[in-house]
Amino acid sequence: MQDNKHENLLEDYRKPLLKFLECGFPRLKDEVEDLVQRVFAEALECGFDKKLDAVQLRRWLYTTVRRRAIDYLRKWERRAFIQLAQKQSHSDLSGAVEEEGGAGPQTQALEEERRQRQGVLLSQVLQEFVRWCESSPRRILLKEAYERALRGQSASQIAQAMQVSSQQVYQWCSDARCWIYDRIIQKDIDRTVFLTWHRARNA
C-alpha cells in the first residue's frame, strides 16, 4: 500500500517529465519514455521517493533526467568526433600508404588505441568556459560576445547589439578562443579529438 503511494508519487511526474524532455531535447523524442523510466527505477532503487520531500524529489527528478539526456547525446558527440577524426586519419593514412608502402596492422592498432583515449568533448570544455565566465562579472560580456559569434553574428552585428567597438568584440572573441584552445590542448593530449582545430591553429 505504502509502495503504491510512492509509485503514484513518481507517476504524477511522468507526463511533466516527458514534456520537459520532448521540449528540451527534441532529437531524443523516441528515447524519452526509456529515459524517464530509467530515472524512476534509479529513484526507487536509491529510495529517493521515500527519503526526499516533494520539493527535493521534484528537483532531483528534473535535474537527473536532464543529465541523463545530455549523457545520452554526449555519446553521440563522442562518435561524431571519432567519425571526423577517422575521416582525417584515413586521408593521412592514404598519404602514408603511398609514401611508405602501406600502413601495417600495428599502425592501425595504434590509431584505434589513440581513438579509444579520446575522452574530452567540446560540450564539457564549453561548459567549463561558461563556469569560468560566470565566476567573474568582468567576463559576462566576453561570454555574450562569444556566444553571439558562435551563433553566426558578425563582429559588427555584435558590436552594434552590445554597444561596444568592433575592436572590443575581436578582443573578447580572441580571449575566448585562446581560453578554449588552451583547455583543449591540456586535455586532448594526443590531439586526436580536435584534429581540424589543431590544424587550423597551426596553419
Partner 1 sequence: MKASVPQFQSFAEVVRWVIQELGGLCPSQERLLQWKAEPQREDLRDVRFHVQEARCQICLAVLEQEGSSPQSS
Which residues sit at the interface with partner 1, rule CB under 8 A?
A: 12-13, 16, 19-21, 23-31, 54-55, 58, 62-63, 66, 70, 73-74, 76-77, 79-81, 83-84, 121-123, 126-127, 130-131, 133-134, 137, 140-141, 143-144, 147-148, 150-151, 194, 196-197
Q: In the complex, what is the shortest distance from the CB of residue 138 to partner 1, in angstroms, rounded to a whole number?
A: 10
CA dist 28 and 34 (Å) reads 10
Q: In the complex, what is the shortest distance from the CB of residue 110 to partner 1, in angstroms, rounded to a whole number?
A: 23
Return the number of the residue (98 or 131) whose C-beta is nearest partner 1. Answer: 131
Return the number of the residue (107 or 183) whose C-beta is nearest partner 1. Answer: 183
Can you tell me which residue has the cell 560540450?
123
Q: Which burial class, exposed, middle or buried, applies to 169 when counting CB atoms under 10 A from its CB (0-12, 13-18, 19+)?
A: buried
Q: In the complex, what is the shortest distance from the CB of residue 38 to partner 1, in angstroms, rounded to a whole number?
A: 15
Can you tell me which residue has the cell 560576445?
145
Joined together, the cell numbers standing for residue 187 give 586535455
Q: Whose CA is closest to 169, among 152, 146, 139?
A: 146
CA dist 116 and 82 (Å) reads 9
Return the number of the residue (101 or 138) whose C-beta is nearest partner 1. Answer: 138
Q: In the complex, what is the shortest distance from the CB of residue 149 to partner 1, in angstroms, rounded to a whole number?
A: 11
CA dist 147 and 151 (Å) reads 6
